[in-house]
């Protein structure tokens, strides 16, 4: 399925969809959202240039580590994680969360920016199981995130962001080199 279908399903889940050519545009988007941002440890390790570029935009970057990552991230307004797969059918992004620090960024920040490459868009939810099976069931812990959380459990009144972010942005990197670890534009 196409990026257009992914856009439709992401927006139907009350999330924001954005296509950018490279990481510089991701940095610009994130820097425009908040002066304090949490980046998952896995993403910070894979893309140290992302952290440096955010610092260049006067953004304080929190990369949770140590004994209490929950306390480090609890008051950070925006979190950034890299998705390994997007599902056009549902508008979901599969995020592999290797550490507690990765998980707290995706769950505790008020807004989550998920970055995924255009070549990592699957058509159907079933493709996610096939993708995981092809990797021997790895990653060990993963989440499919589809828009901001919502519930109407209490008096049938819809509440957004009860168990996770109030807002979710799905950012699709369209450049061929956007997924690599080299410096790109």
CATH number of the domain that 164 lies in? 3.40.50.10420
- Which residues face 167 on adjacent strands? 111
Domain that holds residue 68: 3-173
pLDDT in tens, 133-165: 887 766 568 888 988 765 555 666 655 555 678
2 pLDDT tier (thresholds 50, 70, 90): confident
pLDDT attached to residue 151 = 57
Q: Please report whether residue 123 resides in a domain.
A: yes
Distance CA 185, CA 168 (A): 24
Greater model confidence, 38 or 2: 38
Q: Please report whether residue 185 resides in a domain.
A: no
Q: Please report whether residue 182 resides in a domain.
A: no
Distance CA 12, CA 96 (A): 23
Distance CA 176, CA 178 (A): 6
pTM of the model: 0.88
Residue 113 is classified by DSSP as E
Phi and psi angles of residue 149, each rounded to the nearest 5 degrees, phi first: -65, 150
Structural domains counted in the chain:
1
Indicate the average pLDDT of the chain: 87
Q: Please report whether residue 179 resides in a domain.
A: no
pLDDT attached to residue 160 = 54
> Residue 147, CB half-sphere, CA atoms under 13 Å: how many?
18
pLDDT score of 82 more than 90: yes
Q: For residue 8, what are the contacts with CB-CB under 8 A and spacing of at least 6?
A: 91
181 pLDDT tier (thresholds 50, 70, 90): very low
pLDDT score of 74 more than 80: yes
Report, as an integer, the average pLDDT of 91-102: 90
Residue 96 is classified by DSSP as E
pLDDT score of 182 more than 50: no
Q: Please report whether residue 53 resides in a domain.
A: yes
pLDDT attached to residue 95 = 92
CB atoms under 10 Å from CB of 152, counted, come to 9
Per cent of the chain over pLDDT 70 is 84
Q: Please report whether residue 28 resides in a domain.
A: yes
């Amino acid at each position: 399925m196409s990026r257009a279908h992914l856009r439709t399903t992401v927006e139907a889940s009350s999330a924001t969809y954005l296509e950018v050519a490279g990481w510089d545009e991701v940095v610009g988007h994130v820097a425009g959202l908040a002066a304090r941002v949490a980046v998952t440890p896995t993403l910070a390790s894979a893309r140290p240039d992302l952290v440096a570029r955010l610092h260049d935009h006067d953004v304080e970057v929190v990369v949770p580590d140590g004994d209490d990552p929950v306390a480090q991230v609890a008051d950070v307004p925006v979190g950034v994680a890299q998705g390994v797969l997007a599902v056009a059918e549902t508008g979901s992004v599969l995020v592999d969360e290797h550490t507690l620090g990765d998980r707290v960024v995706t769950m505790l920040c008020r807004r989550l920016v998920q970055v995924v490459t255009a070549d990592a868009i699957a058509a159907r939810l079933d493709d996610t199981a096939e993708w995981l099976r092809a990797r021997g069931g790895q990653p060990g812990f993963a989440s499919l995130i589809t828009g901001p959380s919502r519930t109407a459990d209490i008096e049938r009144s819809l509440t957004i962001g009860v168990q996770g972010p109030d807002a979710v942005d799905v950012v699709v990197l369209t450049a061929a080199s956007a997924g690599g670890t080299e410096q790109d534009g």
